[in-house]
Structure 1
Amino acid sequence: MTLLSPEHVANAKANVDAFFGVAGKAFEVVEKLVALNLQTVKATLAETQENLTKVSGTEPQQWFTLQAGFIGPSAEKSLSYGRQVFDITSTTQAELTQLALTHYERYNDRMQALVEEAAKHTPAGSEAAIAAWKSAIAATTTLCETLQKTGQQALQFAGSNLDAVTASKAVRSNGEQAPVATGAKR
């Protein structure tokens, strides 16, 4: 029966810690999204009740006018909700990326140390195999860095698109509220 070395125990502990770190982040996200959804449902129910109260004492012809007044605030709330979901998911993505990067860096360091140790104890003529290992490690590192940068760019792109939609909505809202002069003489 073999006993685990202190290094194996430390590695196992690091892996367990990484797992619970990711699991904890996942539960935090679920908790935030559930809280946001409960808040949204509660606000929607209150707003619906208020709107029904307004509509109940009106003539059927006025319903359409009132209904049109409900659309603008609903669209703004929908954009706000989307922004909050985006903020939660982008923050979580950044935190999970950092956890994965930290774990990968530790793993990469261990692999490089293993290759260096193997290089010391290999027979003559195995330099090509060691060079191939080192090249594979370098390629994997480059791939991980590229994937991380691509993920960040995609997140920035999505954020800028959401900002553009929000700004566009704000401009349209301000344009609709501003009085338009008609029939002005020059």
Structure 2
Amino acid sequence: MALSNTEQVAAAKANLDAFSELSGKVFEGVEKLVALNLQVVRSTLAEAQEKLTKAPGATDPQQWFVLQAGFTGPFTEKSLSYGRQVFDIASATQAELTQLAQAHYERYNGRVQTLVEEAAKNGPAGSEVAITAWKSVIAATTTLCESLQKTAQQAVQVAESNFDAITATASKAVRSNPEPAPVAEGAKR
């Protein structure tokens, strides 16, 4: 069964549109990550500059240790927040790509089923066995794709719950030890 030039052009255009759609979603995710990274760098530099302007005012070791603690405590919380935002961006991008892939698969599957139905109508006598086999293959492929999609969604949910648990534990640990103990006056050298 040969395809006409019009059908080939339409198929090529559909493939190009699908590629453009998918790459557009990937670039949107990358843009979000770049914007997040720029925001983090900007705020980190501003905070570092603020802390460094206070450094010359630290006249004794206790003030110096308190100043250093000001660098590490918020850094841990911000790192956890950053990781969460990166995970959210990645999850959202993955969900959009999955949705696009599913839509394209359903369209393609519909075209294949139409092709098989047309072959069944126009096929020679005795081709019923082959048509039934094709329908069985299509059904098995659809079931496999649905199963893979469900498995991928479950893996993302498990990863997200694990990330939430790790973030909660780390955040709780940071909150329980916000600053180092002050240095005793007799401990100065």
User: TM-score, normalised on structure 2?
Assistant: 0.81
1:144-171, Cα deviation, whole Å (9 max, x unpaired): 1111111111111121122222322343
C-alpha distance in structure 1 between counterparts of 2:150 and 2:169, whole Å:
28
Compare relative contact order (CA 8 Å, sep 6+) and give the higher one, 1 or 2: 2
Residue 145 and residue 169 in structure 1: after superposition, are their counterparts in 2 closer, same or farther (change >3 A)? same
| Residue 180 (structure 1) aligns with | none
| Match status 1:116 vs 2:117 | yes
1:90-121, Cα deviation, whole Å (9 max, x unpaired): 11111111111111000000101111111223
Q: How many residues align?
A: 175
SS of equivalent to 2:125:
coil
For residue 88 of structure 2, what is the amino acid of its counterpart?
Answer: D
| Residue 151 (structure 1) aligns with | 152
Q: How far off its partner does 1:27 sit? A: 1.6
Unaligned 5+ residue runs, structure 2?
Answer: 179-189
Unaligned 5+ residue runs, structure 1?
Answer: 178-186
Q: How far off its partner does 1:140 sit? A: 1.3
Q: How far off its partner does 1:80 sit? A: 0.6
For residue 86 of structure 2, what is the amino acid of its counterpart?
Answer: V
| Residue 87 (structure 2) aligns with | 86
The within-5 A match list for 1:30-109 is 30-59=30-59, 61-62=61-62, 63-109=64-110
Which stretch has the larger CA shift, 60-69 or 116-125?
60-69
Residue 13 and residue 123 in structure 1: after superposition, are their counterparts in 2 closer, same or farther (change >3 A)? same
Question: What do you get for the CA RMSD once the two structures are aligned?
Answer: 2.3
| Residue 21 (structure 1) aligns with | 21
C-alpha distance in structure 1 between counterparts of 2:145 and 2:54, whole Å:
57
C-alpha distance in structure 2 between counterparts of 1:148 and 1:60, whole Å:
60
| Residue 167 (structure 1) aligns with | 168
Q: How far off its partner does 1:139 sit? A: 1.5
SS of equivalent to 1:71:
helix
Q: How far off its partner does 1:36 sit? A: 0.6
SS of equivalent to 2:5:
coil
Fraction of identical pairs, as percent: 67
User: TM-score, normalised on structure 1?
Assistant: 0.82
C-alpha distance in structure 2 between counterparts of 1:3 and 1:138, whole Å:
28
